[in-house]
Amino acid sequence: MVLQHIARTYPLPIQYDNLVKFTKTDTIPSYAILSHLWVEGEEVTHEELVHVWSTTYQKSGYQKIRTSCQIASRDGYRYIWIDTCCIIQQDEMDLRENIPNMYGFYQNSGICYVYLPDVSSKQDFHRSRWFKRGWTLQELVAPRIVAFYDTRWRYLGDKRELKEEISRKTTISPDILSGTQSIQDIAIIDRMTWALERKTTKRQDSAYCLQGLLGVTVEPDYREFWLESFNRLGRALLKKYPELEKELGVSDAQLSDPDYSCVWHTSVTSFTLALR
C-alpha cells in the first residue's frame, strides 16, 4: 500500500518522494482517504509526481490533493491515500495488486473525505454525480466515517448525519450508513441492487468495483471483454456462496460459456435483476 506523507507535503509542493510504500509485513499507520469524481485531463497521476511537469501544478486535481492533505493534517493525520497518485494507473501489475484491496483501503481508513465538485449547497447534495458512479459505492459503505465537502470544500456533514437523505438516494439502509448494522447482515442479492444505475468509465470496472462489497476477489484484466469480467465475478460468487446457484438460475459451467453470458446479462442492471 502506498500512502501520501502529509507532513512532507503540506504546505510544501507535492512530490514523488512524499509517497511511502508499506508492505504486507509493515504496520500501516493511521491514514485518511479521499473519494472524488475524476475529471479527465485534470487529475495528478503517479507519473506526474515522478517527473513534476510544469503543467502539474496548474491542474484542478493538484489543488484537490493539496486541500485534502490540509484537511487531513488539521484532523491529525500524517498520511492520506488518493487513488490517482497512489496507484500507477498505467501499470497492469500495480492495478492487479491494488484494485482487489481497495475495499479494504477504505474500510481501514480513519476517515474518508468525499469531495463533490458539482455541489455548491446542501440543497444540491443529492444531485451529485458521485451517487451515480460505480466505484463510489464501496467508498460510501466501507469507511466507518465518511465526511462530505462541497465544491468550495465547505463541510456538508458525515454519512451518519446525512443517512436519511443518502438512503433515499441510494436505497442503502440508514442502519448500514450509521454503522448500527453490519453489511454482512445484508444478503448478496440486496447488496447487488445498490449498484443499479451506477456507471463506470471502463465497463470492466462495473464488475471489479463490486468485489469487495460482495466479499470475493476478481483480479482485474482490462484486456478482457467486459462480459467476461462479469462472468468471473459470477463464478467467484458461486464458489464462495454455492447456495446462490438456485437464486441465480445459472451454474459455473454456464458462466464459462461466452455465448450463454450474453443471454444472461448485458449490463450491471440486468446482472442484478438476474439475482432477484
Task: Give the pLDDT band of residue 102 (cuts 50, 70, 90).
Answer: very high
Q: Is the pLDDT of residue 251 over 50?
A: yes
**Whether the Cβ atoms of residue 212 and residue 138 lie closer than 8 Å to each other:** yes
**Whether the Cβ atoms of residue 204 and residue 232 lie closer than 8 Å to each other:** no
Predicted local confidence at residue 154, as pLDDT: 97
Q: Would you give the DSSP letter of residue 28?
A: P
Q: What is the H or E stretch that residue 216 is in?
A: none
Q: How far is CA 170 from CA 106, 178, 181, 193, in A?
A: 19, 14, 16, 9
Task: Give the pLDDT band of residue 156 (cuts 50, 70, 90).
Answer: very high
What residues contact 163, with CB distance under 8 A and at least 6 apart? 174, 177, 178
Using N-to-C axis directions, what is the helix angle for 268-275 and 226-240, rounded to 10°? 20
Torsion angles phi and psi, residue 187, rounded to 5: -60, 150
Q: Is the pLDDT of residue 242 over 80?
A: yes
The pTM is what?
Answer: 0.89
Q: How many whole angstroms separate alpha carbon 68 and alpha carbon 169? A: 25
Predicted local confidence at residue 270, as pLDDT: 55
Predicted local confidence at residue 238, as pLDDT: 87
Torsion angles phi and psi, residue 14, rounded to 5: -75, 130
Q: How many whole angstroms separate alpha carbon 121 and alpha carbon 193? A: 29
The b-or-e profile of 63-76 (16+ CB within 10 A means b, else e) is ebbbbbbebbbeee
Torsion angles phi and psi, residue 19, rounded to 5: -85, 130
Compute the average pLDDT of residues 78-105.
Answer: 94
Q: Would you give the DSSP letter of residue 14?
A: P
Task: Give the pLDDT band of residue 267 (cuts 50, 70, 90).
Answer: very low
Q: What is the mean pLDDT of the chain?
A: 87
DSSP assignment of 98-131 equals HGGGHHHHHHT-SEEEEE-TT-SSGGGGGG-GGG
